Amino acid sequence: MKRLLLPILLVAAGVMSGCVYEYTDEDGYRMAVINEGFPVPKNAYEVKPEDCTTEIAKSAKYKLKGIGDEEGTPPEEYLEEIQSWGWTELEDKRVGHIHYYEKKGKIMSLIIQENVFDLFEMTDNIEL
């Protein structure tokens, strides 16, 4: 019985290492926890978000391998998906890897970094 334990543990470790959350456009998208109209990749793993401020009404933080490179450049397919959900990027407000989107008076901020991204729903009285 003890001889079988080691091979079973090795197989289990191999299976578990295959369950890495990684960005692929084929996996699709789901609604963000802070705004049902904003897409996030289906396989993004939610972690503890940043604290809200007077400018931020809600926040969510996600881990996802491959969502951004070292400079925070997001996959083009993700940006296209956001637009297909009806969000318009406020390109003149973009600062580095911080993107702002507007839809029906709501403003969302998307901050992409390597393997992690933050999503913020801005307060109604924000001046960009």
The larger pLDDT score, comparing residue 54 to residue 40, is at 40
- HSE of 93, CA atoms in CB hemisphere, 13 A: 15
Amino acid at 62: Y
The larger pLDDT score, comparing residue 23 to residue 13, is at 23
**pLDDT higher than 90, residue 16:** no
Which pLDDT belongs to residue 120?
A: 94
**pLDDT above 70 coverage of the chain, percent:** 77
Lowest mean pLDDT among 26-30, 37-41, 72-76, 116-120: 26-30
Environment class of 9 (CB within 10 Å of its CB; exposed 0-12, middle 13-18, buried 19+): exposed
**pLDDT (mean) for 92-114:** 93
**pLDDT higher than 80, residue 105:** yes
**pLDDT higher than 50, residue 14:** no
HEC readout, the chain: CHHHHHHHHHHHHHHHHCCCCECCHHHCEEECCCCCCCEEECCCEEECCCCCCCCEEEEEEEECECCCCCCCCCCHHHHHHHHHCCCEECHHHCECCEEEEEECCEEEEEEEECCEEEEEEECCCCCC
- Which distant-in-sequence residues (6+ apart) come within 8 Å of 36 by Cβ? none
Which pLDDT belongs to residue 18?
A: 41
The larger pLDDT score, comparing residue 68 to residue 127, is at 68
Which pLDDT belongs to residue 127?
A: 66
**Interval 48-85: pLDDT, tens:** 877 777 888 999 999 999 998 888 888 999 999 999 99
